[in-house]
Amino acid sequence: MVGLATIWGWFAPYFPVVVIVVVTTVVAWVADLIIGRLMRQSTPQMARTARRLGVVVVAVIGGTLVLQAVGLNPTVILLVIGLLGVTVLVALREPLGNYGAKYFSDIYTPFKIGDTILVQGVSGKVIEINPMTTVLLSENDQLISVPNVALIRDVVINTSPQAWKEVAIPVSLGATVDLPTFESDLLKSLTKLRLRLDPRFPPVLTTKSRTAQSTDLVLTLMIRRPEDRDAITLEVNKRLAELLDRMRGGLR
């Protein structure tokens, strides 16, 4: 018969590790929740990135504590990881720059697929935005590839008619959210903002992609006055967050 004392004897050396892993998991979950709440009025990409960053920071701290608990010196390991990171950053600075620029241009640059833009002296209709480049189709049927980093660094002019009016807000729904109910409630909520929106263009919700886990949509609004753009974006994001809070399983 193996006694409890014997079992504890086997387990005891690992107990601090288990505690650290459990505590790290709980702290990461709480951090994710708090950051999500704090970022509720931001764009979904920003909120998602901030939450992911928070979880990674907590995980790194937890991992360091685990290494100490099992008797390893984390300093050397962190140094090696840091040096590897710097090497990768230097080697891949061009593509990573473009990738990062795509992330920020998705959020901050006011154009979308289908718009006509002028950047670095070339003009064309945006037909593709991939992680590295934005592809334009010129009037004489030429494909023009613009590195995404140029869209952050240089002046971009959106020459599409009434481009200033359009506000496109991305929305991600978890698989458990009932899309018809969400859309219906959202449209009802947006009727309250109608004085700030162009009466000829009611809000439209368009499905962009769908997986078993989530549905990505874009809510398109047309504003009446250019100076309302930021305020309306914030207000709509707030309403979206409240709506998704009410509907369990919502992701943003």
Tell me which residues touch other proteins (CB under 8 A).
Answer: 179-181, 183-185, 187-188, 191, 194, 199-202, 204, 206-208, 210
CB of residue 169 vs other proteins: minimum separation in angstroms? 16
- Report, in Å, the least distance between residue 202 CB and other proteins: 4
Distance from chain centroid for Cα 22: 27
The answer to whether the Cα torsion of 146, 148, 152, 158 is positive or negative is: positive
Nearer residue to other proteins within complex by CB, 17 or 187: 187
Q: How far is the CB of 183 from other proteins (least distance, A)?
A: 5
CB of 114 to other proteins, least distance (A): 11
Q: CB 161 → other proteins: shortest distance, Å?
A: 12
CB of 243 to other proteins, least distance (A): 12
Looking at the Cβ atoms of 89 and 179, the one nearer to other proteins is 179
Compare residues 52 and 210 and give the one whose CB is closer to other proteins: 210
Taking the least distance from each CB to other proteins, the nearer of 37 and 194 is 194
